[in-house]
């Protein structure tokens, strides 16, 4: 029965997980500008881990940098924590930069380039013409102001991961590991994202529940960030943004 419900739910994924369309851009950009005062942002992108029991034959592939087995899930969210893109196809050992090369985001953002819009990502991602990352070693006040603004916007994806995992404890470490095949774990993650978006759109309140130790499990948890930094690829684009908006 669970598999039937899951399969039927996923048939409607494109109705519940929707990347911003051209007509949505003014509203989406305005919401992000209110967060951190960086113009033309339409999403924050990052990855998080969902624990699973791995297949015996490929156990090592699913072992992540924190030495447990997981799916590495890449998401893009809006300023109101709506999930506009999710990719849960890869095991926990996959790095953010590899994720980006093997999903639809580069194509979609390429189609939107005439509107000069950007996503925000952490230092695990390359700096591209449509993706703004932090400055590693700021040397000017403008770069420091940019980092502060970038952080205010980027934290929304961390809060989104926290809220998603608090609503659906099967995705949270306190819920243990998912005892399903990697393919079904991927389907469960996507289904939870769909229900998360539905709850936001219908303004379903989030109710915190007591954790196993008697404490309240917060809606916000730190994202599982990667230590490795991606190579810089398009610093001119980021420098233009810094000089134009943060001097």
Per-position pLDDT tens, the chain of length 247: 788 989 899 999 999 999 999 999 999 999 999 998 999 999 999 999 999 999 988 889 999 988 899 999 999 999 999 999 999 888 888 877 777 888 899 999 999 989 999 999 998 898 889 999 999 888 899 999 999 999 999 999 999 999 999 999 999 988 789 999 999 999 999 999 999 999 999 998 876 654 444 343 444 444 444 445 555 556 777 888 888 888 7
70-77 and 41-51: which strand pairing?
antiparallel
pLDDT of residue 11: 93
- Kindly write down the DSSP assignment for every residue of 121-136, as one continuous string: --TTS--BTTEE---S
Percentages of the chain per state (helix, strand, coil), in multiples of 5? 45, 15, 35
Element holding 71 (H helix, E strand): strand 70-77
pLDDT of residue 216: 39
Centre a 10 Å sphere on the Cβ of residue 164 and count the other Cβ atoms it contains: 28
Predicted TM-score (pTM) of this structure: 0.88
Edge-to-edge strand list for the sheet holding 70-77: 83-91, 70-77, 41-51, 118-120, 131-132
In angstroms, the CA 237 to CA 225 distance is 24
């Amino acid at each position: 029965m669970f598999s039937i419900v899951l399969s039927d739910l996923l048939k409607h994924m494109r109705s519940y997980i929707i990347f911003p369309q051209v007509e949505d851009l003014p509203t989406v950009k305005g919401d992000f500008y209110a967060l951190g005062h960086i113009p033309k942002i339409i999403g924050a992108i990052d990855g998080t881990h969902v624990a699973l029991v791995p297949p015996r034959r490929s156990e090592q592939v699913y072992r992540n940098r924190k030495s447990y087995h997981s799916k590495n899930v890449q998401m893009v969210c809006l300023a109101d924590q709506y999930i506009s893109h999710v990719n849960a196809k890869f095991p926990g050992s996959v790095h953010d930069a590899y994720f980006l090369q093997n999903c639809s985001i580069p194509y979609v953002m390429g189609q939107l380039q005439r509107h000069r819009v950007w996503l925000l990502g952490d230092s695990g991602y390359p700096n591209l013409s449509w993706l703004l990352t932090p400055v590693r070693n700021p040397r000017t006040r403008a770069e420091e102001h940019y980092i502060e603004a970038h952080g205010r916007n980027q934290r929304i994806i961390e809060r989104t991961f926290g809220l998603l995992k608090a609503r659906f404890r099967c995705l949270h470490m306190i819920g243990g590991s998912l005892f399903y095949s990697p393919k079904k774990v991927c389907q469960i993650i996507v289904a939870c994202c769909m229900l998360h978006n539905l709850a936001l759109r219908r303004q379903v309140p989030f109710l915190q529940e007591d954790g196993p130790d008697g404490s309240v499990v917060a809606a916000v948890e730190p994202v599982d960030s990667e230590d490795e930094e991606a190579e810089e690829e398009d610093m001119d684009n980021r420098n233009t943004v810094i000089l134009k908006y943060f001097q």
